[in-house]
Every structure is written in C-alpha cells, then in structure tokens.
Amino acid sequence: MRNPRTLALFCKVVDNFGDIGICWRLSRQLQREHGIAVTLWVDDLKSFRRLCPDVVPDADAQHVQGIEVRHWRDQDGAFAPEEIPDIVIEFFGCELPPAYVAAMAQCEPRPVWLNLEGLTAEEWVEGCHGLPSMHPRLPLTKHFFFPGFTAKTGGLLREAGLDEARQRFQSDPAAMQGFLGQLGVSPAEMAAMKVSLFCYPHAPVADLFAAWSDGGTAVTCLVPEGVATAAVQSFLGGTPRAGAVHAQGALTVRVIPFLPQPDYDRLLWACDLNFVRGEDSFVRAQWAQRPFVWHIYPQDENLHHKKLRAFLQRYASGLDGLEAFSLEWNGATAQQAWPQSWDSLRADLAGIERRAVEWSGRMQALGNLTSGMLAFAATLREPVRA
C-alpha cells in the first residue's frame, strides 16, 4: 500500500480518557502530518468532550479539527463497499460492526485492517507485533500492531514538533508562570514543589496527602476536577470544584479544570513531579522529561502488576525509591509507611529526572508510532483503490 488517502479508526471507551485520548491524538497526527482523511468512530462522546471541548456530545456525525467524528452506536445497518476507507483500525481489540466487516470483504482490493493494541513493556509483544490473523469466514486478514519500547515494536505516539514545543516552554519561566497563573496557582504555590495528580479512584491519595502535610517540603498538588474526588473532598472539607484550594501543614491542594490535551501537556511540562494513569497520560509524561509515577489500569487477577513490573524493570533500574514507591502506589507490594516511601522517592528525584531525559531520547530514536504504522501498512499486499 502506498499513500493511503482515507482511514477509519474505531474506539470503544473503556478507560474513561486513555482510549479516546490515544485515538484522538492519532487521528490528528494522521490528518495533519500525513494528509489522510480520518473518520473516528467513538462510542462515548461525553468522555471525548472532556479532552476536546469542540465535540458535541449528542451529534451522530460532526467535523472536529479536520476529523470526521461519528457516534458509534453499534450500527446494524448495511455499509456500502464505497464507504470503506483504505485503512481500518480497531483500537485495543474492539469488535467492528459485522456489517462493516462484511462491506470490507466486498471491496476490491480490500482495505488494510489493523488492530492497534495496548501498550506494554512485556517481552512477548515483540513476537506478536505485526502478526496476521485471518478471518474465519471472510477473505480478510487483520494484523496486530503493538506500541512499545523497543525497535521490535511500533514505538510510542509522538507528533512532529512536540519536543521543540516542550523545550521552548520549559526554557521560558514567564511562560510557565503565566500558564499556571491562568489555572489560579499563586506565586507562593509556584515556589513550592509542584505535583500534578491524575490517578484512578482507588489510589491511596489520602495517605499521600497526610505524608505531604506532615513533611518538611512544601508541596503544591494540582488535581484536575473529578480526579480522586473522595480524598480531595475530605482534604478540602468541601466540594472539589475547579478553583477550590486548601492548605494544611506543608501541603496545598488546588483543584484545576479538567484540561484539553494541549494544556494537559503544558501542565506536565510545568510540574516537578507528575502522577499519571492509564496509557495516554503515561506516554505524555515520558515526553515531558519530568519525574513521574504511573498508576496502571487495574486488571483481573492483578495482571496489571506484571505489566507494571515489566516497565519498571526497563525504566527504573537503579532508582530504588521510584520502583518501591510505584509498586506501593499500585498495591503491588505491602504498604509501608508513606512518609518514608515519599522521602525515598524525593531523595531519588534528581536521578529520576536524569533518567527521564535519557529515556525520552531513547524513545525518540525509535521513531514514532504513526509513521511506523503507515510504513507497516505499506508492506501489506492490498494496494490503494483507484
């Protein structure tokens, strides 16, 4: 396949923001950098709107920033072969509408069909990346494309110019102060250690708040509205709406608006330490070149702990404070006293920042997922339809 013109991406939102966050970034990069007309099918437009305020949550079809967005409602109606694009991507094993697959099989030549899988540092993905899977009844073949951290995987999602934009922002103290000021952060709060907190509801946030409050380091914790609601409400003593702020001991907690993706990137760039979750913010934290702690999406039988350890083995080698804190934060080891865990992590921060810079360079050297995926599609047999 050479020079695909059209592409459809199907996304079912499981993790509230990670799935659509990845698919939205991918869609924009395909359109802006490669000139591909993208149709993004999404089943949950309300979650999508939190990341992109331009989205109309009750529209069946709309154009958003150059992308055709369709509300995926398990459409059972027939699709015509001429509606099928050059490339069809299903994200993380979501099943395409049967009528859509049937129309794909009627195309001549047939579209390239990819399953973009979830990110993991486990070694087995290298053997599965790019593998074909033939449809049991129809003349269609799906190929698995795995993001990852090695040259034998698809790499990480990263748009052109991202590193240059980060460098400009982080080298401009006035720009960082202006951005934080727009979020209501006071000069005194900016002078403290700035921590962004994005985690799942079961994270031990209350224990961490207590350790920060009683500690000897001033901490400003910036929490997007709707995150860690119970712990934030308990600390604030009131409803955790954007703009709410409360200080206790060495800790100040400030609730900020839930930010669109470009502003969330700036938040990661502006903070000294970032707590992130899932996959999308996890990857963006790696490009931020700041220390971060990952809250991994929970899975049955604690399979996520295996994935967490696989990543820490690659990323946190020699950074004992980060490794121990990350395992405790995710419930993968017995909980120790949080003040001691925090002190160990804080003592490691300089080394963690050096690792963050080195790691980002290594990941950039692998290329970016979008270009790699299109290059992989070009190796498949189906040519572009005239």
Which residues form the catalytic set?
A: 19, 279
d(CA 28, CA 37): 10
DSSP 215: S
Residue by residue, DSSP assigns 4-45 as: --EEEEEE--SSTTHHHHHHHHHHHHHHHHH--EEEEEES-H
Lookup: tokens for 264: 């969330």
Strands in 92-192 per DSSP E: 112-116, 132-134, 141-145
d(CA 375, CA 369): 10
Cα 325 to chain centroid, rounded: 21
d(CA 245, CA 222): 9
Lookup: tokens for 45: 């437009």
Q: What are phi and psi of 279, to 5 degrees?
A: -120, -45
Single-letter code of the amino acid located at 55: V
> Torsion-angle region of residue 366: left (phi > 0), alpha (psi -120 to 50) or beta?
alpha
